[in-house]
Structure 1
Amino acid sequence: MTTTPDRTARVPFWLRWLVPALLVTIWLAVAGIGGPTFGRLDEVSSNDQASFLPAGAEATAAQNWQAKFRDSREVPAIVVIENGSAFTQAQLGQAAALAGRLEALGAGSTVIGPIPSRDAKAVQFVVPIDSSREVKDIVKELRDEMRASAPAGMQTFVTGPAGLAADLASSFSGIDGILLLVALGAVFLILLIVYRSVLLPVAVLLTAVFALCAAILLVFGMAKLGWIQLNGQSQGILSILVIGAATDYALLYVARFREALTHTRDRTGAALTAWKASWEPILASGATVIIALLCLLFSDLNSNKALGPVAAAGILCSLFAGLTLLPAMMALLGRAAFWPFRPGLLPPAEREPELATGLEGQKGLWRATGNLISRRPRTVWTASVLLLVVASAGVLQLKAHGVPQTDVILAASDAVDGQDALARHFNAGSGSPVVIVADETKARAVLDLVKASDGVGDANLLAAEGVPVPTGEPGAPLAAGAPAVARGAAVVPAVRDGKVLINATLDYAADSSEAEGVVDVLRWEVRKIDGGALVGGVTATALDTNTTAQRDLVTIIPLVLAVILGILMLLLRSVLAPVLLVASVVLSYGAAMGVSAVVFNHVLGFPGADATVPLFGFVFLVALGVDYNIFLMSRVREESLKHGTRAGILRGLGVTGGVITSAGVVLAATFAALGVIPIMFLVQLAFIVAFGVLLDTVLVRSLLVPALAYDIGPRIWWPSPLGRPGAGPAGRPAPSAEELEARNVGAG
């Protein structure tokens, strides 16, 4: 870096004060509008699993047909009353009287029940809930009413799709408060330790928080216009991603700003010098992540499509905050930002040392690391690769085929307990039937086949009155409050456009893998009779979601890799280096997934993983992992142009080591904060990304990449002129690896 003269007097007033103050004021206004919008995200958020499916999925097509038979806005809640012994006639009468109380709540259409179990130790009600209202609030009312009105000594539960959705929404309720507090607290503590400054961590956190406010405003607007579908999962990831990315970009800029302050007293000049040195890697990093996230638009799952633009909007706002707000604050604060350990001016001879080995001026950990790499580069990168390959073997244990919805919620859940109660006393699939849409002329044959199928407890046609006949129980409801058909009576089916609806209760819980297997078989069997038949319902929705998610892996991963490779080639003006960098990050991803699989199965005892976990893990780890390689290799290229490739590698590693490690620790800590939300998917994603980022920061970026690049030498930049054999700085021949090793040994 050329010595920058002290030009404070020449910098105009508007550039020193007005422009930075204006930028800070604009961001204050954005935060003032976006901050309050955070509490309104629930207005445009939905956690309905069925709405995440693509329009072409069979479960979606079946759901569309269901809408023609009944109010498609309704989602069933199953109310269960469980007794320690068989219900007496008097207790059954008390239970029957509860139907009126449930009707009085006005949750939706007609309440069905009570329906007694085979062992007479439980009864259930089917309570349709209008999903256009707040399902969580209605479920709470149902639970309060049942606790107050149920016969003494009996347990009550509200479960089914509505109960599970309500408990899922409650689990996400910590996103607005606890998640942010944990993430911001972790970031502040790390920055305090790294910089031993009071003002700088505050400035970096303000950058992250203001970026989040802008992202929330942007996402709220897109959701309000109907461009995206927002859910609690996307909200949590958005918050963490923005805080982590904005902090990463801020740390890179702060490192260049601090370095510039050692060359000049001019805070404005230092801020501009730092901006010129950091804008390209920050922009390349942000563009890589944004485009990788937008590749999710090619997913067949609407939930993945929604996350793509939501997360990309967050990175875009982080990018703008890192390149405008933080430089403006640094220009205003100058050295005061680092108080009490303000950087001083270096003597002119130390500002740009002549490099022979690349280790000059370095000390401590990064000098030792550079020394190891320069002496044994092939041993270092070979050992690193072998370690990653061994860790990747754990991928064979990964069970990412979806998990029952009752296992998704890790906290105490009344709905999960209710599902267990249903399984003890009723057909396990009671309350969440499989729905078959069949041709009217073939309905009887399809019904007979379904009834005879393994895993199906009972099946009935939807009655002409439009009310599903309760199935799988020993008799009709005691007090249905709606038309019901006695077992064995002729049913006049409801017909819409030549189609009928069949409800089938399974012997297995609706969210179990066994139930999915039954649905898979039913789809093949019913089409032998009716080629246009559709099989839908809760189980079919979960099955189609898992199948689509696994298909997305094959579609999205090549796209993401191609995008990242292209951006790296443009940034580094090379072909070989980007290919090796992408290969290293993919290997790091495999190792992270392998270790995660072992931890999930044998340490945390999870029954499996959501089918979208590998895809999300790949997008975040590969896109974010490349960030650190961008930060490293862009600086290595800069130093290589001045000092030669091998010296430039050691110099680049030394000057970026601290900042990149700090950035990795911060990002890992922010993603780890997702673990406070008791949802299995988020806990698993938190571990995968946090561990993967640390692995990438400590092993891949610190040892594997620099050692491999050092071993290859100038050819790493092929086919650019910098990669020609013997290419060195300023036209001088580059020293060989043996010459540099001898110099390093001599330097001690």
Structure 2
Amino acid sequence: MGAARTSDRRRRRAVPWVVLGLWIAVLALTSPFASKLADVQRDRAVDYLPASADSTQVAKIQDRLPGGETTQMVVVYHRDAGLTEADKATAADQIAEIAGSHRLTGEPVGVPSKDGTTLMYPVASNEPGIDEKARDELVNDVRDVARGGDGLNVEVGGEGALATDAAEVYNSLDGPLLYTTVAVVALLLIIIYRSPFLWLVPLFVAGVANYLSMGVAYGLNQWFGTSVSGQSSGIMTILVFGAGTDYALLLVARYREELRRIERPYEAMVAALKGCGPAVLASSGTVAAGLLCLLAADLNSSRGMGPLGTVGVLCALVAMLTLLPAVLVLLGRRVFWPLIPRYGSTPKARRSLFAAMGSSAGRRPRTVLVGGALLLGALALGTLNLPGAIKQEDSFTSKPDAVAAMETLGRAYPERSTQPITVITPADRAETTLADIRGTQGVDSAEQGRTGGGWAEISVIAKDAPQSAGETTTIEDLRDKLDGSYVGGPSAEQIDLKDTNARDRLIVVPIVLVSVLLILIALLRSVVAPLILVAAVVAVWGAALGIGGLVFGPVFGYEGTDPGLGLLSFVFLVALGVDYGIFLMHRMREESLNGAEPVTAALTALRTTGGVIASAGLVLAATFAVLTNMPMVQLVELGFVIAVGVLLDTFLVRTYLVTSASVALRRKVWWPGALSKEPADPVPPKEPERVTAAAH
């Protein structure tokens, strides 16, 4: 018997080392792929669009035309007091130098403004082809040549310059986003754990999980063609650290509890995994299922975010349920210093905030429910104040050179568009199509461009400003009129983005709701409880979006919202909100199965999990709030709505409304499951028992 026990102890001591060794092997295998993720990141507007969109077809055909994709730029010369002859000579010399250094599609011709303050030179080149790096080099070379001084302002704008500025912003996100996220999570963990060492462990494990997720994401791109954008890779990083830290908080809290009851760390960790493992698995599975519903989206950026977000959540889950336990067991109780949980001790009994909140919800549950519902409904009215779809030039929180150029053009040339619309038509119908375009209301001019592969390219200038209501009408009229042709370009891409997002909302939202509801029904063995959780997170989404409507324009000064904000914020808030609901309901169900009365079970669940859920909610909200410090309006808006929604869910819905609903409905909350029925012989609640090493 003694030999068997000795062998068993050795096996248990070896398990954490084996797990650690396996992780080292996994990281060694994925390391070559993780470093390549940035290389496959694509952030052109056309890369976000579905293959069926007119804009996508235009871009694909342009790639096959002689010279490949054309980079469109506009070099803008401006002097407030009016351009001098010397200014015009400087502009002509610089444009000639650009034309001599690069292969342009035509000779640039200057277009002066009516007031004489501005001169613009449209510059187009197919020299880079579809290579984004070469495009950026071309734009930067043009900017190096086109320089002003002594009151002469020179700016380079246009589609190509705007794409280069956007790429520079997205490429700069990875470092600051990662460092800021790590710093925020580290600070919160130090505050939560009040230990100089413990916070390092989950943070280290989250970093390992993030590195693994980058390797897996690169594999998905190579093997299945999953699109990777700056937005989706950034969200994946935030999910790894946010969701991963949440799982760590739940596991560490349960592990600390078990260390007071069980002598050896290995056995305590096994008990902790058995206790909270099912809830963590269920919650992460629900989040993953919700995110995977984005595969039904037609928009490439949304469809790609589903798998990448799922990869982030699952990598965090695997790391927190394997690597984290192994490291904690190897470090022993001392990792909790100075608040070491002693074997056989009991924590100090304190009147917790969540016990007080539970008591208030328990006394007047219906009043709390009605009051909370009215508050969320009032906040949701703010959605009526959301600004319209954002324009490309308004997508940056700071003003890059390309945006400044477009603003200058808008003031100097109010009577015409400065951004071409591209029409691709069959080559044998080019003349007819050109005549039809020139006869379309809203068109200022149209010129035929390249021909090849059976297609012809026509550049169209509208009478109205870019992305204005008038230009939008012109684009729609061209699409209706030109049968068999494709209408694209920057403004058309924005129209396609908006239309595709509207279609995706109608498809993806019901799929997410049904999927999450069915998973919750299977997990909780109830219909009523899942309906409460889903209704609660939908209300939170509406309220968070409403708060966004109250601050985006009036406070932040944003001119528009990303067309995908509603869909993406809905998917994340529903999936992540239900995540916390599972933590609470799982403990409530556990208490009920142990014989507790419905009201007692609800209040006990809130008292025991409230602190962990609050900590997890703060961490997750803080990680998404990191996006509000990024230089893209779309990221700021998404981060703000999700962070606010998580805080509402954590401190209002989860603590007050769900608890109040459970108290008000009592056993009916578990209908039609077995827990909804009154027990024939009430079972006394189980008392926790102390487990010694000898018992194992």
- Taking structure 2 as the reference length, what is the TM-score of the superposition? 0.91
Looking at structure 2, the residues matched to 11 and 511 of structure 1 have their Cα atoms a distance apart, in angstroms, of: 74
Q: Are the aligned partners of 2:247 and 2:280 in contact in 1 as well (CA < 8 Å)?
A: yes
Looking at structure 2, the residues matched to 362 and 89 of structure 1 have their Cα atoms a distance apart, in angstroms, of: 81
Looking at structure 1, the residues matched to 574 and 153 of structure 2 have their Cα atoms a distance apart, in angstroms, of: 49
* 1:252 partnered with 2:208: no
Q: 2:375 aligns with which of 368, 387, 393?
A: 387
Question: Kindly, what percent of the aligned residue pairs are identical?
Answer: 36
| 1:691 to 1:15, Cα distance in 2 relative to 1, 3 A | farther
Give the counterpart letter for 2:37 in structure 1.
L
Unaligned runs of 5+ in 2: 686-696
> 1:384-463 counterparts in 2 under 5 A?
384-399=372-387, 401-426=388-413, 432-438=419-425, 443=430, 446-462=433-449
SS of 1:271's equivalent?
Answer: helix
Q: What is the CA distance between 1:541 and its match in structure 2?
A: 1.3
Q: What is the CA distance between 1:14 and its match in structure 2?
A: 4.1
Query: 1:135-183: per-residue Cα shift (whole Å, max 9, x none)?
Result: 3333222212222xx6865222121111111111222233222212211
| 1:673 to 1:125, Cα distance in 2 relative to 1, 3 A | same
SS of 1:177's equivalent?
Answer: helix
Give the counterpart letter for 2:395 in structure 1.
V
Residue 131 of structure 2 corresponds to which residue in structure 1? 132
* 1:566 partnered with 2:554: no
Q: Are the aligned partners of 1:39 and 1:176 in contact in 2 as well (CA < 8 Å)?
A: no
Looking at structure 2, the residues matched to 541 and 411 of structure 1 have their Cα atoms a distance apart, in angstroms, of: 23
Give the counterpart letter for 2:409 in structure 1.
L
Q: Are the aligned partners of 2:212 and 2:315 in contact in 1 as well (CA < 8 Å)?
A: yes
Looking at structure 2, the residues matched to 425 and 18 of structure 1 have their Cα atoms a distance apart, in angstroms, of: 74
> 1:305-344 counterparts in 2 under 5 A?
305-344=303-342
Residue 650 of structure 1 corresponds to which residue in structure 2? 603
Looking at structure 2, the residues matched to 343 and 731 of structure 1 have their Cα atoms a distance apart, in angstroms, of: 28
| 1:495 to 1:28, Cα distance in 2 relative to 1, 3 A | closer
* 1:145 partnered with 2:139: no
Q: Are the aligned partners of 1:411 and 1:678 in contact in 2 as well (CA < 8 Å)?
A: yes
Query: 1:386-407: per-residue Cα shift (whole Å, max 9, x none)?
Result: 21111112122223x5211000
> 1:213-362 counterparts in 2 under 5 A?
213-225=211-223, 227-346=225-344
Q: Are the aligned partners of 1:427 and 1:506 in contact in 2 as well (CA < 8 Å)?
A: no
Unaligned runs of 5+ in 1: 1-7, 352-359, 467-493, 733-748
Query: 1:448-470: per-residue Cα shift (whole Å, max 9, x none)?
Result: 443344432212233xxx3xxxx
Residue 41 of structure 2 corresponds to which residue in structure 1? 45
Q: What is the CA distance between 1:246 and its match in structure 2?
A: 0.5
| 1:500 to 1:137, Cα distance in 2 relative to 1, 3 A | closer
Residue 485 of structure 2 corresponds to which residue in structure 1? 533
Q: 1:626 aligns with which of 578, 594, 607?
A: 578
Give the counterpart letter for 1:308 in structure 2.
G
Q: What is the CA distance between 1:369 and its match in structure 2?
A: 1.6
Q: What is the CA distance between 1:248 and its match in structure 2?
A: 0.6
Give the counterpart letter for 1:116 in structure 2.
V
Q: Are the aligned partners of 2:355 and 2:606 in contact in 1 as well (CA < 8 Å)?
A: no
Q: 1:169 aligns with which of 167, 170, 179?
A: 167
SS of 2:558's equivalent?
Answer: coil
Residue 506 of structure 1 corresponds to which residue in structure 2? 462
Looking at structure 2, the residues matched to 174 and 442 of structure 1 have their Cα atoms a distance apart, in angstroms, of: 45
| 1:140 to 1:14, Cα distance in 2 relative to 1, 3 A | farther
Q: Are the aligned partners of 1:16 and 1:332 in contact in 2 as well (CA < 8 Å)?
A: no
Q: 1:672 aligns with which of 612, 625, 639?
A: 625
Q: What is the CA distance between 1:425 and its match in structure 2?
A: 3.6
Q: Are the aligned partners of 1:645 and 1:714 in contact in 2 as well (CA < 8 Å)?
A: yes
Query: 1:288-338: per-residue Cα shift (whole Å, max 9, x none)?
Result: 111111111111111111111111111110110111011111211232121
Q: Are the aligned partners of 2:250 and 2:276 in contact in 1 as well (CA < 8 Å)?
A: yes
Q: 2:647 aligns with which of 691, 694, 697?
A: 694
- Taking structure 1 as the reference length, what is the TM-score of the superposition? 0.85
SS of 2:155's equivalent?
Answer: strand
SS of 2:332's equivalent?
Answer: helix
Number of residue pairs the alignment of both structures matches: 676
| 1:607 to 1:717, Cα distance in 2 relative to 1, 3 A | same
Residue 517 of structure 1 corresponds to which residue in structure 2? 473
Q: Are the aligned partners of 2:87 and 2:152 in contact in 1 as well (CA < 8 Å)?
A: no
* 1:20 partnered with 2:19: no
Looking at structure 2, the residues matched to 729 and 604 of structure 1 have their Cα atoms a distance apart, in angstroms, of: 57
Give the counterpart letter for 2:579 in structure 1.
D
| 1:67 to 1:345, Cα distance in 2 relative to 1, 3 A | closer
Moved more, 17-26 or 574-583: 17-26
SS of 1:112's equivalent?
Answer: coil
Looking at structure 2, the residues matched to 727 and 692 of structure 1 have their Cα atoms a distance apart, in angstroms, of: 42
* 1:722 partnered with 2:675: yes
Residue 681 of structure 1 corresponds to which residue in structure 2? 634
Query: 1:615-638: per-residue Cα shift (whole Å, max 9, x none)?
Result: 110011110011100111001101
Query: 1:427-462: per-residue Cα shift (whole Å, max 9, x none)?
Result: 777563112344667655544443344432212233
SS of 2:123's equivalent?
Answer: strand
Looking at structure 1, the residues matched to 139 and 352 of structure 2 have their Cα atoms a distance apart, in angstroms, of: 60
Residue 739 of structure 1 corresponds to which residue in structure 2? none
Q: 2:57 aligns with which of 61, 65, 70?
A: 61
Let me know the Cα RMSD of the aligned residues.
2.6
Give the counterpart letter for 1:115 in structure 2.
G
Give the counterpart letter for 1:580 in structure 2.
I
SS of 2:487's equivalent?
Answer: strand
Query: 1:55-81: per-residue Cα shift (whole Å, max 9, x none)?
Result: 211222333444454433332222222
Looking at structure 2, the residues matched to 728 and 159 of structure 1 have their Cα atoms a distance apart, in angstroms, of: 78
Residue 691 of structure 2 corresponds to which residue in structure 1? none
Moved more, 53-62 or 588-597: 53-62
SS of 2:389's equivalent?
Answer: coil
Residue 609 of structure 1 corresponds to which residue in structure 2? 561
SS of 1:199's equivalent?
Answer: coil
| 1:18 to 1:508, Cα distance in 2 relative to 1, 3 A | farther
| 1:71 to 1:645, Cα distance in 2 relative to 1, 3 A | farther
Q: What is the CA distance between 1:587 and its match in structure 2?
A: 1.0
Q: 1:211 aligns with which of 205, 209, 212?
A: 209
Moved more, 663-672 or 440-449: 440-449
Q: Are the aligned partners of 1:640 and 1:729 in contact in 2 as well (CA < 8 Å)?
A: no
SS of 2:458's equivalent?
Answer: strand
Give the counterpart letter for 1:379 in structure 2.
T
Q: Are the aligned partners of 1:362 and 1:654 in contact in 2 as well (CA < 8 Å)?
A: no
Q: What is the CA distance between 1:708 and its match in structure 2?
A: 0.3
Looking at structure 2, the residues matched to 271 and 138 of structure 1 have their Cα atoms a distance apart, in angstroms, of: 58
